Amino acid sequence: MAASLSAGCGVGAAAQTAAQTAAPSETLPLRHFTVVLDAAHGGNDPGAWLGAGDSPSPETQSAMAEKAVTLAMSQRLRALLVARGFTVIETRQSDVALDEDARATVANHAQAGACIVLHATEAGSGVHLFVSSLSPAQPQLLLPWKTAQATRVAESLKLGGTLNSALSTAGRDGESSLAIPTTLGRTTLPGIDSMTCPAVAVEVAPLRENAHGGTGKVTSAVDDADYQTRVLNALAAALLAWRSEAAAP
Amino acid sequence: MTPRFQKILFVVLFVSSVAMTAVLVRLRERAHDRLLQGDQTQGTSAPAVAPLEEVTMMVADDMTSTLAPETIALPLPDEPQARARSLLNRLLSQYSNAHSMHPLPTTTNPVEAVFLMPLSKTAPSHAGSVRDAAQSEDRIAIVNLSNPFAALHPSGLETETLTVLSICATLHANLPQVTEVRFLVGGEQQATLHGHADLTQTYLTAASAAASGAQP
Ligand SMILES: [Zn+2]
């Protein structure tokens, strides 16, 4: 029997201290529905090296830094969301270094209805969604900074489910063969764990042939324009559905 | 005036105290080096005469983001820390096989050492309760990964998370006394495995065993 990733090792509550506090955000009316897009990595943190076969490295000329791919995805998704009437805040709009606290600070000030952290990788296939592994907690006036996400983790799981179903049915014109293989897991996510919005990390991996072995041949690279468009359109559609859900009484 | 024999005695005592200080400092340095290198104190493999034992590997699959139990027979040393290390090196080395569903590059002895330490009886558990005497057998495993293993590990949220969870779940499946796991890389604390999986946290193993159905 397979164990879902979400059922993996939990994280010790003892390790999470309340050095800072964060104010919980409220559910906001539709016209103010804000989405925070966090392009992971940046500056002196390139993230993974992508697009140069199965063992990419900075020495490989064709390798792309993950930080550039996530920034490009953030900008494209922003355009799609603005066109759908969302207010969008990006944690970074250029190649700058940001620590996890700075990202969470931007997200928490925005009082966002959804926070999406974008990653890209060469490992695995399709899209990997991750929600914080913190146990749900009741909202309080002042929240421990390192575990503020605990009060929104139930909503984050729902948002993860909405993104999962949109990506899994992302075939163009009803072609189910074009659905994007998507997994939803839970883990400790230092940036997200401090966010007071429903938050999901979205990691885009190449599409691979479903061959034996995790190194099945890549059929669409992470920077493949058509593949990225399908992923980003599915994310935008999921956020529309999420906004409608939030607006429902 | 100080008698001559007292002067001689003083000089002898002074010289021996300096010598003893030097020896102690050197011994302390050697003990520290041994602790960090670990592999000098833990056998790399079981003695040739060790019988085969059934062990459960919690094997990761990148395509499905899952762990699945796989039973294999292995010769293992008796000493628990050496056992844990052999087990994990076997787990991680199988990820470099051609048909691995969680492909990792080959590195020699990816786990340099595993230290098993008793958990404090009064430490708060993950459930927020206070441990009682019945739980005093619980151990925290400090897994010291090698620098090359971390440096060559593929970078990504899913792949790094699966490696960490696979280690935690395999330890729990075979050494049920291990309830918490912490990670070091090359003897030092490191923020992440390779940019993603958080290695500053203490991981709890109980949830993985309960949900996977892997009974030790
Ligand atoms: Zn990343």
Contacts of A11 in chain B (CB under 8 A): 198, 201-204
Helices A153-168 and A225-247: angle between axes, nearest 10 degrees: 130
- Residue A1 has a pLDDT of 43
**How many structural domains compose chain B?**
2
- Provide the domain limits for residue B94: 52-211
What residues make up the domain containing A238? Answer: 29-173+196-209+217-247
DSSP annotation of A178 reads G
Q: Is residue A2 part of a domain?
A: no
Contact check, Cβ <8 Å, A3/B197: no
**Pick from A5, A189, A215: which is nearest to B165 by CB?**
A5
pLDDT in the model for residue B155: 95
Residues of B numbered 1-40 whose beta carbons fall under 8 angstroms of chain A's beta carbons: which are they?
A: none
In this prediction, residues B165-187 reach a mean pLDDT of 95
Answer yes or no: is B216 within a domain: no
Q: How confident is the model at residue A52 (pLDDT cuts 50, 70, 90)?
A: low
Show residues of chain B in contact with A15, CB under 8 Å.
200-202
- Kindly report the average pLDDT of chain B as a whole number: 83
Rounded Cα distance between B61 and A240, Å, is 32
pLDDT above 90 covers a percentage of chain A that reads 63
Is the interface score ipTM higher than 0.90? no
**Residue A7: predicted pLDDT:** 37
Q: Per-residue pLDDT tens for B86-132?
A: 999 999 999 999 889 999 999 999 999 999 999 875 544 444 444 44
Look at A38 and B43; give whichever has higher pLDDT: A38
Tell me the CA–centroid distance for residue A37 and ligand 1, in Å. 14
Amino acid residing at B175: L
User: Does B113 lie in the same domain as B19?
Assistant: no
> Could you tell me the distance, in angstroms and rounded to a whole number, from the CA of residue A206 to the centre of ligand 1?
14
Please name the residues between 19 and 48 in chain A that touch chain B, using a CB distance below 8 Å: 41, 45, 47-48
Residue type at A247 in one-letter notation: A
Q: CA neighbours within 13 Å on the CB side: how many for A100?
A: 16
For ligand 1, the distance from its centroid to the CA atom of residue B97, given in whole angstroms, is 25
Last residue of a domain, one of B9, B29, B45: B45
Cβ–Cβ < 8 Å for A148, A196: yes
Instruction: Give the tokens for residue A61.
Output: 């000329």
Nearest CA in chain B to A190: B198
| Per-residue pLDDT tens digits for A200-239 | 999 999 998 875 555 678 889 998 999 999 999 999 999 9
Question: What's the structural domain count of chain A?
Answer: 1
Within 83-122 of B, beta carbons closer than 8 Å to A belong to: 98-103, 105
Residue B29 maps to a domain: yes
Confidence (pLDDT) at A146: 87
Mean pLDDT across B71-82: 93
Q: What is the pLDDT of residues A76-96, one digit of tens each?
A: 999 999 999 999 999 999 999
A62 domain-assigned:
yes
Cβ contact B159–A2 (<8 Å): no
Do B99 and B24 lie in one domain? The reply is no
pLDDT the model gives residue B22: 83
CB contact under 8 A, B157 and A54: no
pLDDT at residue A43 tops 50: yes
